Structure 1
Amino acid sequence: MSSSVSRVSRLIYFLLICVVNGADYRLDGSVVPSYYNLTIGVLRDPAEPTLFDGEVSITLRVVGPLEVPQIILHADTLDISECWLLDAVGVQVEAIDISRLIYEAATQQVKVPLTQPVQPGQNYTLGFKYTGHIRTDMAGLFSASYVEEVTNVTRGLAVTQMQRINARLVLPCFDEPALKAKFQLQIIRPNGYQSIGNTKLRETTAASTDRFVDHFEETPVMSTYLLTFMVASYSARGNVSDFAVLTRPEFYNHTEFSHQVGQRVIPAYGQLFQIPYAELGNEVLQYASSPRFPHNGMENWGLIIYSDEVLIQESGYSDDWSNKEFTIRIIAHETSHMWFGDSVTFSWWSYFWLNEAFARYYEYFMAHQLYPEYHLDEQFVVRQMHLIFVTDARNSTQPLTSLESDIQTPSEIAYKFSGIAYAKGACILRMWRNIMGEQNFDRAIQNYLKQYHLGNTVPDNLLYHLSENWPANQEVDVEQFFYDYTEQVGFPMLVVRLRSVNAVTVQQDRFLLDYTDGSRGGLKYTVPLTYTSNLAPNFYNLTPSKYMHKNERYQLIAFDEPIEWFLLNLRQSNYQRVLYDYTLREGLRVALSASNHSGIPVENRAQLIDDLFNFAYVRYVQYEEVFQFLEYLSKEVDYVPWYAVYENLNRVAKRLTPEQLPSFRNYLSDITKSVFEKLGVEWSSQDTPLDVANRNKLVKWLCRYQVSGCRNKVNVKFVTSSEQPSPDYRETFYCAASSSDFNSYTAVWGRYYLETRPSERKLLWSAASCTTDFETHYHKMIISGPESVEQKKIGIARLYEQNPELVQPIFEMITENIVVLAYDFQSWEDTAEVISDMAEYFTTRQQQQLFQEFYDVNHQYFGKSAAVLSKSLESVKENIAWAEDHLEGLVQYLERRNAGSIQGATSILVLLLAVVASLLAWL
């Protein structure tokens, strides 16, 4: 009987493993690792610079109830030469014939068959010797190089990128985030190089006369994707046993700022989370830069790798406010991962947002805490929430949390690396934090981090700690609220209508940009309601006054007195759009036009703007209503609302025909009057970071559309000033000057030829291409010039982007002899991209016809790339049809407005002439 039960249990266990394996992408979990002893030899042989040597011993334990006849783990493009198995005391159990290893290319697994199965509850050591490839695709272990400025010698380096599932390219391993283990790393490298890894360097020994072995301290228990090392020549700012910034030697003097940021960020997180960094289990944290890297940064535990641009601040060139803000944000983001991701890790890729939502949230809000002059708490709304709303309103969106069974293959794992995990996740965290209150939220996060230190989590683990610290006075099902925004896609649109002089109703629908694309339009959400009115304005109490539950048709909000205006979603704290009826919207427009905008915060002003543009796109309101509402901007000078304007206005401005642009210019001149008077084109040492950003965007727009004499004003500054524009303004002002007249264009071009810095040459090339003298620039500077094809494509694009009214003559010039461009590019594919990109700026039926005629005559030259032109031609038709359908009322509004301005100006002139005539008669 017992024997029969045993056989049945074994069969059940086998079937369970088969079910879990499914398509065999997941490991079966029968054995788990606890320790890797890894030795990597890089740059081993000048004759084989693309290979590395590896040896790894993996301590593992059989955790299932049955003996295991084969061990399955990950390995991808590794050439295994030896394999062995030891028991718990180091005695060899088996020398495994490598010809018996089974490789599964699709699942990137290697199966190690055993002559004697490993036993339940026992520890073993599985070892491999192998060679791997130093790659060029920035995955696994890859190569990079740079040219030393002083010697002009090319220097190489090797660096890793293990995320997402690239550790298997460097060593045979159990490459799943929940299969954490400790790593002991040794790097064999040539003389003249240094190596760095996750932990502190313990010692260096000689391997031969010209090769050395660097031995590193043991890592904490961590996921395979966090393993890292770099072999390079570098200089360190700081203490490599504690905190240092590591870059190539010539950059040492440019790392002071990034080092200072790290010195502030690391202890600030320790204080906020109540777990100092050193107590996480790794005493060292280093920032290293690579000249070639697939991301801005990668959060390897103890050694964060950044692209050069993040850590390098060269005085007079890359130390502008914008670059500094970029450095602050990326360092804040990656450093937060030491707690969220490294110490506490999601259990599977379907919960990837548990890493990135926190990192993106603190990227803005820790940066704001330490550097409040950037107002990143306010900027978060326009740079994260408004951005991700577009993604989350389409059928292609995804929920924060996916089913594990849906995320198995490499491509499915890559699918989770989307803006949803980062930006939407951060928006939802911000909403919870504002609803709970700072102390409650922080306490929940501290407890979450402490409980799951060195472990793995699923969303329910976070939910538990949020629920435990949720304010008791709020009538909401926290669990339902949590799942509504993590397991459902999309977000609510709240429709607000004036019911009486002192009451409004609120209804919810899911907002979609295209109701025909297959999206689920009937979704409902638990909706927190925060609001205020003119009766007792309070914009900063973000605790919901009430909740709208999923089964409620509407909510009634009543006041004791008649209201003049009503504002919902204070500081756009909650993840929702708000659509007001005409009366309520007009009340808000009047309030915004009043002194100090009636106290309405910049986040809400930006929200109103962004919401209206998106509602116009789907025809809930008309574009002329949006532009009428935006008349209030004539009194607006703050950056955040203007950011929302510029991000949305381009969609409309690009669709206006050359005949419609004069009325648009007049409108743009009027609404930018106050902000242009405040900022102008003159920079000052008193400028704030937001002044700088605001002036840059303002000058770009006004000069592009030739408004308020912008080009001439910039040109006067360019011609008369002996000082070089600060890095903050260089590209914007060079572009505006280049577009103003031929002399300034040639001056910018001359600077390009004299400049030696690659980054500065790139900037000047782009700026010179803003010229209106497009024929000279195209024929003399682009065609047959020495620049790369990519640079030339940028140069052509800048010609019409900066001068949209010239897109048709530029198209006619280029297509008159398209073979010239194709011959210069040596590529019909790149030539097709140029034409396709340009066609995005077509606005008239005449331009559409010109494109059609060009395609009919020339498409056979383009081969397969003719499909690009065909698709672009369809896009032109759709764009023009959209403009004719959506913008007719707006065009009429702008023309009436422009005519009124002209009539008003004429009346004033007539009156002045009459006064002058009377004076002359009297004299």
Structure 2
Amino acid sequence: MLVPKLQENFTFEGFVKITAVVQNETDKITLHKGNIQIVNQSVLLENKTVNIKDFIYDKNTEKYTIIVSETFKRESQILIAFDYNGILNDNMIGFYRSSYFDKDNQIKWLAATQFQTTHARHAFPCFDEPSFKAKFTIRISRDDKYKCISNMPVNKTEKLKDQVWDTFHESVPMSTYLVAFVISEFDSIGSEVFKVWSRQSVIEQTNYALKIGTTALELLGNMFEQKYHLPKMDMVAVPDFAAGAMENWGLVTYRESRMLYDEKESSAPAQQDVASVIVHELTHMWFGNLVTPEWWSYLWLSEAFARYFQYFGTAEIEKSWNMKEQFVVEQHESALIADGLESSRPMTREVSNQSQLEGIGDSITYAKGASIVRMMSLMFGTNVSELALRDYIHNNKEKGLGHPDALWEAIENHLQHTTQSVTVKTIMDTWTTQAGYPVVSVNIDDKGKFLITQQRFLLRNLNKTPTNVTWWVPLTWATQTEPNFNNTLAKIWLSTEKDTIDLKIDPKEWVIFNVQSSGFYRVNYNYDGWQRIFNVLNSDKFNDIHVLNRAGIIDDLLNLGRAGLQDYETVLNGLMYLKQETNYLPFKAALNGLDYLNKRFAGHEEHSLFKEYVLSLLHDNRKKLGYKIAQMMID
């Protein structure tokens, strides 16, 4: 129960009752308390008050321990109650205040929440860890001019004296970080089962979000063969919001720029941003909310799938945007950069303090995680992946908690009909429990045999970090005789530092490994191997090579040069084919990589030569496309 005071001093009063079952005999209760002041507390055991001897508070862990006068027996039920108060802060975490100006230039106040990762404790005392799922019944007081929404629909609304009290239906079991409520004067459009909310002056800009949201929720439910679990969905555009968006179950909150779309004024990238972020957040209704990673160490089980479907789910709604292809240059290649640093961390990692917790939401968790999900789908087969994800959700939804081993088991069960001798866990643990990724070097001899080696790829190795690390690398390839870029299933697994394979092909043919950049690794070739690839790229048959491999070749070349694994003469020669390229993706990959060189050359005499080189790559396309100088009106 909460009483926020938006019209007075921006404080709130609260009362919480927690019912818990004792797992082991103890005379202590430890939960979390943040920036709130407890006024009164009590503990009941089987409906009888228990004497509280003492309490201890650890400011570092924010753990609040109550010591009682008797020992709770195993399986006994206790009730913990707190009266407390707090401040509606303005730092956009916990239970906070926000404001905006209406069309009459009058300031309007609202209160909203942001509880991920450990901020629910700033709104009410609780067991604030993801595995402690509970059912929540929320009751909030408000002035008559405000509207209040939460995770669940309103059960009843009562007027007591000069205040309105909204009581919401009891929630399904969920983690504390997914609890949410917003008290505002916002307007809404939509139906009882799906509404979007915003400031009154921009409510027309929520139409696209409503369209995408309703479509995505149905699409994802069908895709996972598990209908959305709650009776309603609200999406709210909040003026002051630190994150891009937050997947609170049944009440998703967004930064305004991530939910509002003006059909007359907004750009195409802004429209794509709105659509893809909405799909990302709604994916969490299954990956993260229904099945929650049992600890923050496995956050990628939530965020990797949300980032993956941000592209691959949106691709099913806005089919003309080429979202599946964009994923490679926007997520896969950026993750290769982030994971090529010595300081990179594994996807699954230890999280035992606040510093580690604050660092868990990084590019490795999101972009690499999504790239590994894509690799998993392509190397095991999209059909296997789809069936496995459905099973993972279905098998774990009752418990409500997820672990990587449960995902590997679901995949394994759909691979039993194959001849694969190694377990999925053995393969995938190399990608999720160790940092970095390999560069696969391919050396082709004059008899058509391939010596293939792997080592950890590092952009710079200043601390002599070991590179003799191995992964289970799914090798795929296409050749000049068999230019099949559609088969991404792993043909051979490279699990040792080196191996020799005989493809029985003409050594004068081009061979390209890592079909469609499906694997999370880079590929380097010997001199002759590169030259044969360059020859086809510079011919009128360059389209024989899949566009994602053309983009991957460009990205690999530039970063192999940056890491000192390839000479820049080869790198820059390889980019020359871009003069005839007409697809956006290889250029996007090139410009990402060339930006590094641009910064390195800045301030040096050679910078002008570098710029001439880059302009030479663009010249033919620029001449063909032309350009217009926008006319600006200056008063």
RMSD of equivalent CA atoms: 1.7
Partner of 2:129: 176
Pair 1:517–1:374, CA change in 2 (3 A): farther
Partner of 1:304: 252
Whether contact under 8 Å (2:51, 2:69) holds in the other structure is: no
SS in 2 for 1:508: strand
User: For residue 133 of structure 1, what is the amino acid of its counterpart?
Assistant: I
After superposition, the C-alpha distances for 1:772-797 in whole angstroms (9 at most, x for unaligned) are xxxxxxxxxxxxxxxxxxxxxxxxxx
User: Aligned-pair distance for 1:562?
Assistant: 4.0
SS in 2 for 1:76: coil
Give the counterpart of 1:337 among 266, 277, 284. Answer: 284
Pair 1:468–1:414, CA change in 2 (3 A): same
Pair 1:328–1:315, CA change in 2 (3 A): closer
User: Aligned-pair distance for 1:257?
Assistant: 0.8
User: Aligned-pair distance for 1:107?
Assistant: 1.4
User: Aligned-pair distance for 1:426?
Assistant: 0.9
SS in 1 for 2:596: helix
| Alpha-carbon distance in structure 1 between the residues aligned to 2:6 and 2:257 | 30
Partner of 2:297: 350
Whether contact under 8 Å (2:405, 2:425) holds in the other structure is: no
SS in 2 for 1:101: strand
User: Aligned-pair distance for 1:119?
Assistant: 2.3
Partner of 1:571: 516
| Alpha-carbon distance in structure 2 between the residues aligned to 1:557 and 1:393 | 30
| Alpha-carbon distance in structure 2 between the residues aligned to 1:154 and 1:181 | 37
User: Aligned-pair distance for 1:503?
Assistant: 3.1
Partner of 2:49: 93
User: Aligned-pair distance for 1:289?
Assistant: 1.0
Partner of 1:362: 309
Report the TM-score when normalising by structure 2.
0.96
Partner of 2:23: 63
Partner of 2:351: 407
Partner of 1:83: 41
Pair 1:40–1:679, CA change in 2 (3 A): farther
Give the counterpart of 2:218 among 267, 270, 292. Answer: 267
User: Aligned-pair distance for 1:656?
Assistant: 4.5
User: Aligned-pair distance for 1:372?
Assistant: 2.2
Pair 1:44–1:246, CA change in 2 (3 A): closer
Partner of 1:291: 239
| Alpha-carbon distance in structure 2 between the residues aligned to 1:167 and 1:446 | 30
Partner of 1:383: 330
Pair 1:487–1:662, CA change in 2 (3 A): closer
| Alpha-carbon distance in structure 2 between the residues aligned to 1:530 and 1:203 | 59
User: Aligned-pair distance for 1:478?
Assistant: 2.2
Partner of 1:459: 404
Whether contact under 8 Å (2:111, 2:184) holds in the other structure is: yes
Please say if 1:234 is aligned against 2:181: no
SS in 2 for 1:595: coil
Pair 1:74–1:586, CA change in 2 (3 A): same
Give the counterpart of 2:414 among 462, 469, 484. Answer: 469
Whether contact under 8 Å (1:188, 1:212) holds in the other structure is: yes
Pair 1:158–1:69, CA change in 2 (3 A): same
Whether contact under 8 Å (2:579, 2:617) holds in the other structure is: yes
Task: Give the alignment of 1:117-516 within 5 angstroms.
Answer: 117-148=71-102, 150-209=103-162, 211-239=163-191, 241-277=192-228, 280=229, 282-318=230-266, 320-402=267-349, 406-454=350-398, 455-470=400-415, 472-500=418-446, 502-516=448-462
| Alpha-carbon distance in structure 1 between the residues aligned to 2:305 and 2:110 | 32
Please tell me whether Structure 1 or Structure 2 has the larger radius of gyration of its CA atoms.
1
| Alpha-carbon distance in structure 2 between the residues aligned to 1:440 and 1:664 | 47
| Alpha-carbon distance in structure 2 between the residues aligned to 1:479 and 1:218 | 38
| Alpha-carbon distance in structure 1 between the residues aligned to 2:507 and 2:356 | 54
After superposition, the C-alpha distances for 1:161-220 in whole angstroms (9 at most, x for unaligned) are 0001111111110011111010000111122111110011122111322x2111111111
SS in 2 for 1:399: coil
SS in 2 for 1:537: coil
Which portions of structure 1, spanning 4 or more consecutive aligned residues, are displaced by more than 4 angstroms?
Answer: 656-659
Please say if 1:40 is aligned against 2:13: no
Whether contact under 8 Å (1:75, 1:168) holds in the other structure is: yes
SS in 2 for 1:295: coil
SS in 1 for 2:534: helix
Please say if 1:632 is aligned against 2:577: yes
Pair 1:119–1:477, CA change in 2 (3 A): closer
Give the counterpart of 2:539 among 575, 581, 594. Answer: 594
Give the counterpart of 1:671 among 617, 620, 623. Answer: 617
Give the counterpart of 2:499 among 550, 554, 563. Answer: 554
User: Aligned-pair distance for 1:558?
Assistant: 2.3
After superposition, the C-alpha distances for 1:255-311 in whole angstroms (9 at most, x for unaligned) are 11111101110000000100011xx2x111111110111111101100000011111
Pair 1:560–1:614, CA change in 2 (3 A): closer
Whether contact under 8 Å (1:534, 1:563) holds in the other structure is: no
Give 5+ residue unaligned stretches, structure 1.
1-38, 682-713, 720-743, 751-923
| Alpha-carbon distance in structure 1 between the residues aligned to 2:607 and 2:439 | 33
More strand by share: 2
SS in 2 for 1:515: coil
Whether contact under 8 Å (1:441, 1:466) holds in the other structure is: yes
| Alpha-carbon distance in structure 2 between the residues aligned to 1:543 and 1:554 | 19
| Alpha-carbon distance in structure 2 between the residues aligned to 1:657 and 1:73 | 56
| Alpha-carbon distance in structure 1 between the residues aligned to 2:245 and 2:7 | 30
| Alpha-carbon distance in structure 1 between the residues aligned to 2:430 and 2:605 | 48
Matched-pair identity in %: 29
| Alpha-carbon distance in structure 2 between the residues aligned to 1:129 and 1:41 | 12
After superposition, the C-alpha distances for 1:694-744 in whole angstroms (9 at most, x for unaligned) are xxxxxxxxxxxxxxxxxxxx43xx34xxxxxxxxxxxxxxxxxxxxxxxx6
Give the counterpart of 1:521 among 467, 492, 495. Answer: 467
Task: Give the alignment of 1:725-736 within 5 angstroms.
Answer: none
Please say if 1:620 is aligned against 2:578: no
User: Aligned-pair distance for 1:45?
Assistant: 5.8
Task: Give the alignment of 1:792-871 within 5 angstroms.
Answer: none
Report the TM-score when normalising by structure 1.
0.67
After superposition, the C-alpha distances for 1:136-172 in whole angstroms (9 at most, x for unaligned) are 2111011111111x20011111110000111111111
Give 5+ residue unaligned stretches, structure 2.
none
Pair 1:370–1:474, CA change in 2 (3 A): farther
| Alpha-carbon distance in structure 2 between the residues aligned to 1:81 and 1:117 | 25
User: For residue 321 of structure 2, what is the amino acid of its counterpart?
Assistant: Y
After superposition, the C-alpha distances for 1:334-363 in whole angstroms (9 at most, x for unaligned) are 000000110001111111111111111111
Whether contact under 8 Å (2:409, 2:424) holds in the other structure is: no
| Alpha-carbon distance in structure 1 between the residues aligned to 2:115 and 2:241 | 12
SS in 2 for 1:500: coil
| Alpha-carbon distance in structure 2 between the residues aligned to 1:309 and 1:71 | 43
Whether contact under 8 Å (2:17, 2:80) holds in the other structure is: yes
| Alpha-carbon distance in structure 1 between the residues aligned to 2:447 and 2:625 | 41
